[in-house]
Structure 1
Amino acid sequence: EMGGAGVEVMTGSHSAADFRKYAGLALEFGLRASRGSDFHSPQESRCDLGGLPPLPAYLAPIWELLH
């Protein structure tokens, strides 16, 4: 309804439950997925700097729209 092509499904501050929620929304609404690369502090983030896993293959990365 509001437009948009994608949703950030994974960040250093998201829990596994957050990821499942946003990945599910991306699939439900046909949105592309992205992952956050920002790192604010060890106290805020749930993983180390550079430690986010890649997007799962079942999600379409939004950066593919740039090609």
Structure 2
Amino acid sequence: MLVKGDQVVMHTCIEAKNPSNYGKLWTCYTDETKVNWTNPNVVWLEGYAGAFSVEYLQKVNV
């Protein structure tokens, strides 16, 4: 379960292949939550427009 302040990287999705996102550390600015419009839970990331599926995020311990 991801929580506010966790740092993550994107993986195995089209956004992760974008050179500006590849290997980039993102910070969650919300806790992981369930929404009605998608099955996997989502979080909102600092500097990213919109919610992001936790299915494609890996928590990084720094």
TM-score normalised over the length of structure 1: 0.27
More strand by share: 2
TM-score normalised over the length of structure 2: 0.28
More helix by share: 1
